[in-house]
Structure 1
């Protein structure tokens, strides 16, 4: 079964949604959409450095994404405005990544494959990395679920309850960094933020509890993957953008229904 490239693509997408569903819910609740963009842009620098040093793209991307996550967490804890920090880091990381790619001698890599993803080229090894990373992110979110929720609702009350909001924030940004690293080949650096945000925004229209929103975001993401792959094969369009387009279509359709209180 795994010899079928379309089956591998669907399985990789399904594995990724295990992380992006609940994680995207926190991104929406905390209004951290720009963080996903910043980390994704930094992934391009990781791709360029990986080819330059001859290491795994996943390893290089993860290292740079983790560095971005830790930097953001540290600066935001010092009182810097989050949107300003992310704006500076996002555009700087993308610029340095493109410059690094241009300076690497003999590099003949089409960066568009890393910008927009190539889910149809996922190998068995890629499949293992995606599922391993997604399950690790999911386990971390389940482990810290109540603390993350408390810190999201009100950091002062969470601190009064004995929780450290900075620890919860760090768990969240590290999970985001790992998700970006394992998804770079599937939907690419420029589209991962959309896969995090759009399914969660769709599920928010119908969810009554945080748990149902996380589950709904996961299901919506999985449906978007399947529909996007079908559209890609049917109309000969790029798979990554097709997936995000289907997610956007589901979100638009959800607006027809009144939002639950």
Structure 2
């Protein structure tokens, strides 16, 4: 693991696997960090160069002002990171907010990526501003503690939350979210008040494969279908998966990623 300095920020990067092999870049969800993809790293790093990073203002990357955490800023960071690490053309896998970045890279930097795989994501502006905006204000004032049950419900599906065999995992992510600083509200604000990217995907030159969880409480199969329609790509719905499908149903997600990459000529 290391920091890579790009666009005036120190970006925390985990770079695993043979640098001579095809690269996959993983971009994480709001409230999480690069570690949400450890299941993908463990399985895929044998055949691919697997790179996961923390967005500016989150994880172990540099703090950033709210205005500098827009989806446009984060997209420029991702593009600069791809260039700095010589990853191009790489496959970009993004969960939720990471999917917003993957889609913007597909639209704006097709020369840098081989494909985009947004998981539990959306290409549209936020449809739940009325629900999510008060949560952002609460986080800014009081942190995540008063909202932790709501955050767990948003970030995970019913099957995962009810599974007694995965209590340790649930406790891990619950603690991670409880330990987030109040500044996470700045990142959340930019997620809630993002702009649509669908219109930019009309002439998309790279394959797009959107994955949805059927138990996602934030963005469902319809958002993934809309991404596929706008980009000329494909979408798939994973059963018993919520907003963090790459954790909840990681075996299915890994298989979908592998089949997608192998199917690209």
TM-score range, shorter chain: under 0.3
Higher strand share: 2
TM-score (normalizing by structure 1):
0.27
Higher relative contact order (CA 8 A, sep 6+): 1
Higher helix share: 1
TM-score (normalizing by structure 2):
0.27
Larger Rg: 1
